[in-house]
Structure 1
Amino acid sequence: MSAPAPVVQVRGLTKEYGRGDAAVQALRGVDLTVAAGDFVAVMGSSGSGKSTLMNILGCLDTPTSGRYLLDGLDVGGLDEHQLSLVRNRRIGFVFQSFNLIPRTTALANVELPLAYAGVRARERRRRALAALDLVGLSERLHHRPNELSGGQQQRVAVARALVTAPAMLLADEPTGNLDSRSTAEILDIVSRLNASGRTVVVITHEDEVAARAKRVVRLVDGLVAEDRRQDAPWAVTA
């Protein structure tokens, strides 16, 4: 029986902005493989290429050259409509700024990706309730974002990211707008999700966040300068 395909498989990835003398190489030949169930923290200083890599992994941008397979699917030849389907169904995004719809309840925010996917109302409700329960917000279903703390808003965002059962949870500086207590709560949730088998890739500059990961990939000047496994002493077991 063959092993399952990696969730992320990147080979020779480059990204260049501009032309001629003004050209900037954000990525200069990145190779990266993320197996199912892994927890990877991608780190790097400003200008290292980590945001560019995140945008490509999230199918928000395309590389100048190289190949990217997501859950066995080569995304290089997809058109914008196909990429939007991939983003909706195979990637669960968590952003630093939460990106919740202000006038909509927590429940409706979590249901939204399923509505885009054409899931029927009853099934949307069932799956959204389960996702909010998973992040401990069953008692805040009908609260709007301005009625929730920053940590609670990010938990709604995590529930929204999970509700489509994506191949990968992709988080961009998920604790950047949170205080220390809320940061610990979000990291506990993400660690539990990974312990239950979810594949997690986190873009971060915070050592506290990277300490939860099983693996740290560090970018310098558009190249992978370090790729190491680590014991995650603060990881939460299932």
Structure 2
Amino acid sequence: MSANRPADAGRQMNPDRQGGHTVTGNRPVPEQSGLERPVLDVRNLIKTYGAGETAVHALRGVSLTVQRGDYVAIMGSSGSGKSTLMNILGCLDIPTSGRYLLDGVDVSRLSDRQLALVRNRRIGFVFQSFNLIPRTSALSNVELPLAYAGLKSAERRRRARAALALVGLADRENHEPNQLSGGQQQRVAVARALVTAPALVLADEPTGNLDTQSTADVLGVLDRLNRSGRTIVLITHEPDVAEHARRLIRLVDGRIVQDARQAPLPQPRHLAQAVDA
């Protein structure tokens, strides 16, 4: 990843200060308190692959802010730049230029180790493919991010059971993936995304492999999670899926061409409860 880091990211900095936040050990710490900052603050993101006449301009100056508790759908056809944007928002790729603050942290200035911590603790990923470990129980699959974070077994189990209960699968904790329907497997994946209490749930085509009923089940879970104060960014090409979001952003050729509010943000008291949870 460091080979592709923007040119200014390698400048020498005070070891205790990076990009507007404090670094304690290997963990980035934002300066603003939870409700004062947006979850996402993206400023003039540009992503170019290659150079010269063969250069591909995947993102052309994308800027957006996502407030805590919002539910944003990002739509676009193939080649629109939505997958590139998703990878950058998920700290899986870096922009050619521009700035990205995640929960108050300027991620462009983090080391690879710090980025791994951000992905583990601040972002909950839900992908089109469920990415569950076969021949492993739903409970153990949900526990996995907590194991990476170094939590003790009893605490992992407690949190994983609570996450499965949130998605309506408390009675399926001992089932392996091949014993679950597609919709149930995706709900296990959602529980895994929630188990670290991330600042952001990032869902990339989460219903792409599901039938109509399973799609409704998964979207119902996401709706309930957002109503409880979770911040969700969903990548989709399906209008009926995007209708569930509070805000719709449409990309064309690497640019935002539509940014429409479909429903109001939740009240601050609900957000405070979500931050405290």
TM range (shorter): over 0.9
- Cα deviations across residues 91-137 of structure 1 (Å, max 9, x unaligned)? 00000001111121100000000000011111000000000011111
Q: How much identity, in percent, do the aligned residues show?
A: 71
Q: Hey, what's the Cα distance between the residues in 2 that align with 1:90 and 1:65?
A: 22
Gaps of at least 5 residues in structure 2 are 1-31, 265-269, 271-277
Higher RCO structure, 1 or 2 (CA under 8 Å, sep 6+): 1
CA distance in 1, matches of 2:98, 2:244: 30
Residue of structure 2 in register with 1:65 after alignment: 97
> Counterpart in 2 of 1:132?
164
**Aligned: 1:17 with 2:49:** yes
Aligned to 2:247, which of 215, 225, 228? 215
Counterpart selection for 2:148 from 101, 116, 125:
116
Q: Which amino acid aligns with 2:182?
A: G
Counterparts of 1:140 and 1:178, CA distance in 2 = 19
Task: Work out the CA distance in 1 between the residues paired with 2:263 and 2:229.
Answer: 17
Specify the alignment match of 2:218 in structure 1.
186
* C-alpha distance in structure 2 between counterparts of 1:138 and 1:38, whole Å: 27
Cα distance in 2 for partners of 1:117, 1:38 equals: 27
CA offset at residue 70 of structure 1?
0.2
Q: Could you give the per-residue CA deviations for residues 142-195 of structure 1, whole angstroms, max 9, x where no partner exists?
A: 111111100000000000000000000000000000000000010010000000
Question: Could you tell me which of 128, 132, 147 is aligned with 1:96?
Answer: 128
Counterparts of 2:192 and 2:254 in 1: how far apart (Å)?
Answer: 31
SS in 2 for 1:213: coil
1:43 and 2:75 aligned: yes
> Structure 1 CA distance, aligned partners of 2:178 and 2:54?
43
Task: Look up the equivalent residue of 2:42 and give its one-letter code.
Answer: V
SS of corresponding position for 1:190: helix
Query: TM-score when scaled to structure 1?
Result: 0.96
Out of 160, 175, 185, the position equivalent to 2:192 is 160
Q: TM (normalized to structure 2)?
A: 0.82
- The higher radius of gyration belongs to 2
Q: Could you tell me which of 163, 167, 174 is aligned with 1:142?
A: 174
Q: Which residue of 1 aligns with 2:230?
A: 198
Between the aligned partners of 1:197 and 1:215, the Cα distance in structure 2 is 15
Letter in 2 for 1:127: R
Q: Stretches of 4+ moved more than 6 A in 1? A: none
**1:105: which partner in 2?**
137
The corresponding residue for 1:79 is 111
Match of 1:33 in 2: 65
Counterpart of 2:205 in structure 1 is 173
Tell me the C-alpha RMSD between the 2 structures: 1.4
| 1:195-223 superposed Cα distances (whole Å, 9 cap, x missing partner) | 00000000000111100000000001000
* Aligned equivalents of 1:20, 1:78: Cα separation in 2: 29
Comparing 133-142 and 65-74, the one that deviates more? 133-142
Rounded Cα–Cα distance in structure 1 between residues aligned with 2:262 and 2:105 = 29
Question: In the alignment, what sits opposite 2:16?
Answer: none
